[in-house]
Amino acid sequence: MTNPEETIRFSVSLPKPLLDELDQRVVRKGYASRSELVRDLIRERIVEETWERGDEEVAGVLTIVYDHHQRELTQHILDIQHRQYVHIVASTHVHMDHHNCLETIIIRGMPAEIERLSLEIGGLRGVRFSELTRASRVSN
Ligand code: NI
C-alpha cells in the first residue's frame, strides 16, 4: 500500500533557459529548493483550475478600500453582506485614516457566487480598491 504522505522523486527535463528562470525565481523568492518552488507552482495552478472548473466550494478573501464619507456606502456594503450571510464567513474593518476604510471579507461558496458578490461590492460607488484572493483546499 502506498502512503499518501510519501514524497516521490521524479525527474523532469527542461530546456536550459527555462531552468535558469526557475533557479532565478528560487533565489528571488527565497525558496529553500527547486522542489519547494515547483510544489508551490503546482498548487497555485490547482487552485486556479478549481476556480475555473467552478464545480466545488471554494473560499475567497475580498479586500476593499473605500471612502468612509461616501453617503450610505458603509450601510450598503453591510446590507449586501447580510443578504449573502450564508456565504460571508467573517469580515474585518480597519479605519486607515480620516477618509479611508479597509475591509477584508472572507467568502465561501461556489466560485461564480464569490465572483458575483465581489463584483457587486467592488463596483459600488466610493470603493477605491478591490481585490479578490482566490483560495481552495489544496492537498499536501
Ligand atoms: Ni472605517
Distance CA 140, CA 138 (A): 7
Per-residue confidence (pLDDT) for residue 86, from 0 to 100:
85
β-sheet bridge partners, residue 6: none
Tell me how crowded residue 92 is: count the other CB atoms within 10 A of its CB. 11
Distance CA 103, CA 92 (A): 5
Binding site for Ni(2+), by residue number, is 82, 93, 95, 101
Query: Tens of pLDDT along 69-126?
Result: 988 999 999 999 999 888 999 999 999 999 999 999 999 999 999 999 999 999 999 9
Distance 69 CA to ligand 1 centre (A): 10
Query: Tens of pLDDT along 4-31?
Result: 778 899 999 999 999 999 999 999 999 9
Distance of CA 90 to the CA centre of its chain: 15
pTM of the complete model: 0.85
Q: Which domains does the chain have, with CATH numbers?
A: 16-53 (1.10.1220), 58-135 (3.30.70.1150)
Per-residue confidence (pLDDT) for residue 100, from 0 to 100:
96
Distance 84 CA to ligand 1 centre (A): 21
